[in-house]
Amino acid sequence: MFKKTLHISTSPHLTKGIGTDDIMRNVVWAMLPVALYSVWSFGLGALVVLATSTTACVLTEHFLAKISKKESTISDWSAAITGLLLGLTLPPGFPMWMAFLGGVVSIALGKFVFGGLGYNVFNPALVGRAFLQAAFPVAITTWHPVYAPDRFTTVPSATFTAPFMEPSTVDAFSGATPLSAFKFDHVVTNSYDLALGLIPGSTGETCAALILLGGLYLIARNMMNWRIPASILLTVFLLSGALYLANKEAYPSPDFMLFSGGLMLGAVFMATDMVGSPVMPAAVWLYGALIGVLVVVIRIWGGLPEGVMYAILLGNAVAPHLDNLIRPRVYGTVKTAKKS
């Protein structure tokens, strides 16, 4: 006979009341220093981009929930995170209308058509970013100098471009992030500058130190799978290190690879998206290694200077299959008995 003290319930047996909104709110806290630093270093241009993409995502989420006659889901912060993440991957001074479009695409194509939060195959922010990259390749590689003296008083001329119009590029310079400088001209940027964000680039990708700090906070609160960033960064480090040792002339140093471009931002805040990443620890290591290998391959042998975005999107695509691959066989079943 059962005693009354034994409480019987079906799984999941939660011990702690952490909900989606708790985690999401903490992710926002972790990203805040990165966002603030980007506003500090790039000025009003970055602020406008971040605000626009976040607003676009939240509005789209609300509007789509309304027309599909569902309860609005903006209070779980996930749309705001998508918007903030998208903004962090865009260059400062990116035209407002394009940032807005990117936000709409992120939520509508990246999340809503798959069925909303929890059902999306890909990281929504990266879907929006990939769309913008393919649609406006010139605008998305138009960078602005860091710590411009007038950054808090003037907005880059491209920011307020009228919708559907071509942005002007008078006060910007094109294609000179550390990665493209290395790819096309073999100019190596100092790793110290890279780590502290003293370089031009997307709003949120420049200061590696703050991104790592945000990641550590989330790991400490047990709200992020530490294996994902660890495996990605380790793979990139090992692979590029091996290449660097083989030929120091042709390949960049591993610390340059680690701190340049969007690798830190992608490894810490995007690849760790709970929906798009695998669950089993071994699968997670595989997932991270795959992204790491792809980043190095695209950066060094591909046509584009940066490959983090595509690497993570491809990683997202295979994540469920990795879980399936790793899943242990149920005791007593035979290999031929295929049933999902």
Exposure on the CB side of residue 181, measured as CA atoms within 13 A: 16
Please return the burial class of 329, using the count of CB atoms within 10 Å of its CB with bins 0-12, 13-18 and 19+: exposed
Structure token digits, residue 37:
């630093």
Q: Which residues contact 292 (CB under 8 A, 6 or more apart)?
A: 231, 232, 233, 234, 235, 236, 239, 311
Window 56-85: residues binding other proteins (CB under 8 A): none
Site string for other proteins, 300-339 (x = CB under 8 A): ---x------------------------------------
Nearest residue to 16 via CA among 221, 220, 217, 280? 221
Beta carbons of 56 and 104 less than 8 angstroms apart: yes
209 or 304: CB nearest other proteins: 304
Q: For residue 136, state whether it binds other proteins (rule: CB under 8 A).
A: yes
110 or 278: CB nearest other proteins: 110
Window 141-180: residues binding other proteins (CB under 8 A): 141, 161, 164-167, 169, 174-175
Structure token digits, residue 29:
């806290």
Q: For residue 109, state whether it binds other proteins (rule: CB under 8 A).
A: yes
Window 239-298: residues binding other proteins (CB under 8 A): none
End-to-end Cα spacing for the chain: 37
By rule CB under 8 A, what count of residues binds other proteins?
21
37 or 97: CB nearest other proteins: 97
Question: Cα separations (Å) of 270 from 64, 118, 131, 236, 291?
Answer: 23, 15, 16, 16, 11
Q: Judged by CB under 8 A, which stretch of 29-37, 128-136, 195-203, 261-269 contacts other proteins?
A: 128-136
Applying CB under 8 A, among 19, 32, 119, 137 the residue interacting with other proteins is: 137
113 or 245: CB nearest other proteins: 113
Applying CB under 8 A, among 119, 152, 160, 184 the residue interacting with other proteins is: 184
Q: What angle do CA 61, 318, 18 make, to 5 degrees?
A: 50
Alpha-carbon 198 to chain mean position? 20
Q: Which residues contact 128 (CB under 8 A, 6 or more apart)?
A: 53, 82, 86, 102, 103, 104, 105, 106, 107, 109, 110
Least separation in angstroms between residue 317's CB and other proteins is 15
Least separation in angstroms between residue 190's CB and other proteins is 21
Least separation in angstroms between residue 307's CB and other proteins is 15
Q: For residue 135, state whether it binds other proteins (rule: CB under 8 A).
A: yes
141 or 231: CB nearest other proteins: 141
Q: For residue 6, state whether it binds other proteins (rule: CB under 8 A).
A: no
**Virtual CA dihedral for 238, 240, 241, 247, nearest 10 degrees?**
150
Least separation in angstroms between residue 296's CB and other proteins is 19
Q: For residue 102, state whether it binds other proteins (rule: CB under 8 A).
A: no
Least separation in angstroms between residue 202's CB and other proteins is 16
Residue 65 carries which side chain, given as an amino acid letter?
A
Residues in contact with other proteins by CB under 8 A are: 95, 98, 109, 131, 134-139, 141, 161, 164-167, 169, 174-175, 184, 303
